[in-house]
A and B are shown apart, each in its own frame.
Chain A
Amino acid sequence: MAFTTMVGARIRRREDPRLITGRATYVDDVRQVGTVYAAFVRSPYGHAKITSIDTAQAKSDPHVLAVYTGEDLHHAHNLKASLPVAHKMPDLKTPPHYVLALDEARVVGEAVAIVVADSPYTARDAAEKVVVEYEQLPAVVDIEKAAAGPPYVHESLGTNVAFTMPFSAGDPDKAFAEADVTIKQRIVNQRVAPVPIEPRSMVASYDAGMQQLTLYSATQIPHLLRTQLAIVLGLPENKIRVIAPEVGGGFGAKLNVYAEEVVVSWVAMQLERPVKYIETRSECFQAMIHGRDQIDDLEVAAKNDGTITALRLKITANMGAYHQLLTPVIPTLTMLMAHGCYKFENIAAEVVGVFTNTMSTDAYRGAGRPEATFFIERAIDMVAQRLKLDPVEVRRKNFIASDAFPHTTATGLTYDSGDYETTMDKALAIIDYAGLRKQQEELRKQGRYLGIGISTYVEVCGMGPSAAMPAAGWDSATIRVEPTGSITVLTGVSPHGQGQETTFAQIVADELGVPIDHVSVIHGDTDKVQYGVGTFGSRGTAVGGAALKLAIDTIQAKAVKIAAHQWEANPDDVEYRNGKMQVKGDPSKSMTTAEAGFLAFMGDKLPPGLEPGLDATRRFEPPNFVFPFGTHICVVEVDAQSGEVKFVKYLAVDDCGRLINPMIAEGQIHGGIAQGLSQALFEEVVYDGNGQLLTGTLMDYAIPHAEQVPHYELDHTVTPTTVNPLGIKGIGEAGTIGSTPAVANAVIDALAPFGVVHIDMPLKPEKLWAAMQAVPSNGSVR
C-alpha cells in the first residue's frame, strides 16, 4: 500500500462547511416549479376495518388537486403490488402490504389516503376533511400473547407467527447436565425509535415527454430503491432516477422502501406535477420503522471457574404489523452473533418472528447485533455475580484466544481476526480498573452506589458476502481522471454522515498523488453513479472503499503503461512511488497521474492497443464480513434517594483496523455511544393495549440532550483484517453495539448490594429506586 500523508490524518470533513452554513441541499430544499404537496390520512386505530371513506368534501376544496384511497389505487388504477421484503427464508409468511390500506388498517399511522393540494397547509387542512369510518377490531400488541393465538393481525394467515427458525450446535443438553451452575434470565430488548433529525422526505416529478420519473428521497439506498420502485410501479428501471441529496440521518431507518415513496411517485405520474411530502415528527414516530423489540429468553450453563459451556436461547422478535424491507432478517442476525467474542460451542436457539398491531421493526443502528451483545454481556456479568468472580476474569476465561484466528463460530461465521484480551487490558489499564473497584468499595460504605460496567463486544459488519445477504452485498466505484487533472470519484455507497467525501478523497489523494482538493466524491444519484448497493451495515468503507481501491489499482496499471510508453521503458519497470510514476530506482524522470490522464485524453501518445481515457469502474465482492471489536467501560453513580443515574466516566477502546481518518472514526463512535446509552437509560416506544402510541412526540420520547451524555474517552487498538484490500473494518455501528451493555452493566453493578441481578431497559430512575428499597447488603447505609 502506498498510503503516505493523507490516510491516517485528522482531515476536517469536507462535507461540513456546507452543512453548518446552511448551504446543503436536503430534500425539502429541492424547489421545482409547479410543486404540489401531499398529506396522508392515517389510521388513528391499531386495528380497524375501514367501512367507508368519503373524499367528497376534501375534493371539493379548491386548493385540492387529488385525493386517492387504497380502494382507488387497487381497483380503479390497478396498483396492486405489495411492498418488498428481502429475505431468503423458505417458510416466511408474507401477507400483502399495500401502499395504502385496503379494507383494513393494522397499525396506528398506517396510510389510508393521500391528499394533494397547492401548499403543505392546505393539504393538511384537506386531509382533515376526508371522512373515514372505521369499525375497531381487537388489537394485539404483546408479542407473547400474539404468538399464542388470536386476535390475528392478518386474519387470513390464521396465526401471528411469521416464521420460526431453530438452530443447534454441539451438545447443549449434555453441557447443561454437566454444568456447575445454570442461570436463566428473560431479557427484554425494548422497542426504540430511530428519530433522525430529518424525517422521511421526498419529492417526485414526472417528465411525461421523456416518460421519466425522478424521485428525490432521503434514502440510504438510491439504487435499491430505484429497483424496487420499478417492480412495484411496473416501470422500466431505466426510466426512473432516484436522488438521495443531503440526508439528515438514517440509522437504518432510511434503508427501506416506504409506502409513501411509492404513492408520491405514482401521484406525480398521475398529475404530471412535482409532488412533495415531508413527514411531520409525529408521523415519523408512527410510520418510520422502529428498532429492536425482542424478548430474549436465555439460559446459560457454566463451570465454577466461570467457563461458559452452553447457551439456550429463544428470541421472540416483534415484526410489527407488516414486513418492511429487512424486518424478518434482523433477529436472525441476533442469533448469528449469539456467542459474541467467546468460544461457546454448544448452542440451542430458536428465533420466532411475531406480527403485532405496531409499526414494523427493521434495521436500526446495529440491527440485530446489539440485541445479541446485550444479552451475552449481561449473561457474563450474571455468571460472575453468581460465582462471585470478577466479570473481567469471566470474560478472560471465555474469550476466543488471540492465537485462535481465523475462528469459525458455532453459528457458522468465520472471524478472520481478533485480539479481545489486548483491547480489554488496554482499557482496564487506562481506566485503572483496580482503583475503581476500591473506590466502589469505599463509597458503598458511605451509602453511595458506584457501578462499573464492562462490555467486550464483537460485531459482524462490512455487509457483506452476497451469498450471505438477502440481496447483493458487493459495491462499486468509478474513478475518472479528467483531462485537466482533477479526479472524479463515483461511489455506489450513499453516505449520509459517514464522511466518505473526505475519507475516499484521502485515499485517492495518497494513491494517485493529487491534492485532496482535486478529488470530488459523488454519490446518491442513480443517473450519475453506476449501480451501488448503498450505505448500511457499516459497509461504506469496508465494501465501497474496497471497490475504490480496486479502481485505483486499475487506474495505476493503465497510467503506468502510458508513462512507460513515453519513456520507452518496459511497463514492468515503472512504478508508483509517493504518488508519482518513475522508472524503478531512477527518480530523475517522473510523471503524475494527471499528466498520464491528459495523455490518455489527447489519445495520440498512447501505446498501440491501449484505449484512450483514464477511468475505471470496479466492484468489490467481499469474501467475508469484517468483525470489529472493542471494550467499553462505563462508570455511573446511582442516587439511592431518587434512582437518578449520573455518569462518572466512559471509556471506549475500539478496534476497527486501520484508521483512514481518526477524527471521523471518533465521530462515528461518539454518535454510536450516544444512541446506545440512550437505549440503556432513556428510550422506549410504548403502545397501549389497543395499539395506541403513547410516545408519539419528543415531549414523551426521550433522546438525550448534550448534557445527558458523558464525556467520551476514546482509544483504540489496530488489528488489521485481510478481508478487504484496505485492511479496515466498519465503525458506524460499533459504538451503539458496545455501549448499551456497558451502561446497563454499570447501573446493575451499582445496585448489586441490593441483590439486583437484572433490570430491563430503559433503566429509568423509578425502576432503580424501587430496587433500592431493599435493605442493602454489606452493612452499607442508604
Chain B
Amino acid sequence: MIPAAFDYVRANSVEDALRLLTEHGEDAKLLAGGHSLIPMMKLRLAAPAMLIDIAGIPQLDGITASGGGVTIGALTKHAALAASADLRKHAPALWDAANDLGDPQVRNRGTIGGASAHGDPSADYPAVLQALDATFTLAGKGGTRELRAAEFFLGMFETALGANEMLTRIAFDAAPNSAYVKFHHPASHYAVVGAAVALTLSGGKIASARVAITGIGDAAFRAGGVESALQGVNPNDAAAVKAACAGAARGVQARADTFASASYRSAMADVFAARAVAKAASAR
C-alpha cells in the first residue's frame, strides 16, 4: 500500500506525451485515471520511475455516437460512458459494461483507454470492444496506425501497444442490438465471465452475430463457433440459443482462482453468452 519512489510529469498534448515517453524510456509509464496502475504500484508489483500524466490532455476526452458510428477518445471516463444516452442507444453493450464496472470512484477516474491498454484478462471492455469490432488508433513517433480489437488484445496484460505508443481513439459502427452481461467476482467485481454480443437481426432471426468473452482465458476472445451457430436462430427461442452457445470457450485455456475453477468458468461462458444474446435481441 506504499509505493516505491517515482517522479511525475504532466503531458499537455499527445506529441508531448510521446516525446516524454521516448525521453524517459523503459522506466516511464503513462498515467491516465490511475485506477489500474496505482494499485499495482501500491502493491509494489510495478515501480515505474517516471509517471507521465496524460489525464489533462484536452482533445482525447469525448464521445460522438450516432447511427453512423461511435468514436470515443481514449481519456473518456467510465462515468461519461455510463451517462451517455447516445451510447446507450447506439452501442448498449459498452453502456452496459461502463455501468457495471467498478464503483463510482473508479468510474469517475478510470478511462476507456487505460482499461484497454492495461490488458487485464478479467476486464470488461476487451470483450465488448471485440464484439463491437472496434478500431483502435495508436499514436507513435512516426504517426498513427489503426488496429482491430482482435489484433489489439494479445494476452495477459499484453496488448499491441508499442513501448513508445499511445492509444488515442476507439471507434466502431453502431450496434443497437448489442449487450454485455457479467458474472461478478464477489471480491474484485471484475468479470469471472463477461459475455458481449452484437447482433444483426432480420425477420425475427439472427442474421449475424459477434460474440466475445472475457474473464476466462489470458485475454478476451471471439467465440467463432458460437457466432456461426447463432446464424438463423430465433433469439427468443431459449433452447435454440442455449444450444448455439454451447462450447463458447472451447479450445481456450481457462484460468482458475480460489473462487472459480477452470471448468466452471468455461461452463459459465455458455450460460452468459446465451444471456447476452437474449439481452441484445430485446428492445431497450
Contacts and interface: CB of A to CB of B under 8 A. Distances in A.
Interface string B1-25: 1111100000000000000000000
B5 A697 contact: no
Interface stretch (A120-128, A289-297, A485-493, A513-521): A120-128
A766 B188 contact: no
B258 A700 contact: yes
A681 to B, nearest CB: 8
B188 A700 contact: yes
Interface string B176-195: 00000001011111100000
B186 A682 contact: yes
A146 B267 CA distance: 36
B79 interface: no
B264 A766 contact: yes
Nearest to A642: B271
A408 to B, nearest CB: 43
Contacts of A765: 183, 260
Interface stretch (A462-470, A562-570, A591-599, A701-709): A701-709
A125 B186 CA distance: 33
B258 to A, nearest CB: 5
A694 B258 contact: yes
Nearest to A639: B271
A647 interface: no
A690 to B, nearest CB: 15
Contact of B2 (A124, A682, A698, A702): A124
Interface residues of A, number: 31
B264 A699 contact: no
B30 to A, nearest CB: 23
A684 interface: yes
Contacts of A644: 183
B4 to A, nearest CB: 7
A695 interface: yes
A280 interface: yes
A644 to B, nearest CB: 7
Contact of A702 (B43, B187, B268, B271): B187
A125 B5 contact: yes
B110 to A, nearest CB: 15
A694 B264 CA distance: 19
B282 interface: no
A280 B268 contact: no
Interface in A733-779: 764-766, 769-770
Given A694-B258, A769-B264, A699 B2 contact: no
B261 interface: yes
A57 interface: no
Given A642-B268, A700-B258, A282 B1 contact: yes
Interface of B is mostly: loop
A686 interface: yes
A764 B261 CA distance: 11
A480 B186 CA distance: 50
A149 B17 CA distance: 62
Contacts of B186: 681-682, 702, 704, 708
Contacts of A154: none
A281 interface: yes
B279 to A, nearest CB: 14
A51 interface: no
A270 B259 CA distance: 46
Which interface residue of A121, A700, A703 has the most chain B CB atoms within 10 A? A700
A641 interface: yes
Interface in B28-64: 43
A769 B263 CA distance: 12
Given A121-B5, A282-B1, A642-B271, A766 B260 contact: yes
A280 to B, nearest CB: 4
A125 B183 CA distance: 38
Contacts of B2: 120-121, 124, 280
Interface in A125-173: 125
A121 B260 CA distance: 36
Nearest to B261: A766
B187 A125 contact: no
A613 B271 CA distance: 75
B237 interface: no
A280 B187 contact: no
Contacts of B185: 702
Contacts of A700: 187-188, 257-259
A766 B186 CA distance: 12
A702 B189 CA distance: 9
A684 to B, nearest CB: 7
A766 B256 CA distance: 12
Nearest to A644: B183
Nearest to A706: B103
A695 B258 contact: yes
Nearest to B3: A121
A459 to B, nearest CB: 27
Interface in A225-270: none
21 contacts: A120-B2, A121-B3, A125-B4, A282-B1, A642-B183, A694-B258, A695-B258, A697-B43, A699-B187, A699-B190, A700-B188, A700-B259, A701-B187, A702-B185, A702-B186, A703-B187, A705-B103, A705-B189, A708-B186, A764-B259, A769-B264
Q: Which 5 A-B pairs have the closest CB atoms?
A: A280-B1, A702-B187, A702-B186, A124-B2, A699-B188
Given A120-B2, A682-B186, 18 more contacts: A281-B1, A282-B1, A642-B268, A682-B187, A697-B43, A698-B187, A699-B187, A700-B257, A701-B187, A702-B186, A704-B186, A708-B186, A764-B260, A765-B260, A766-B260, A766-B264, A769-B267, A770-B264
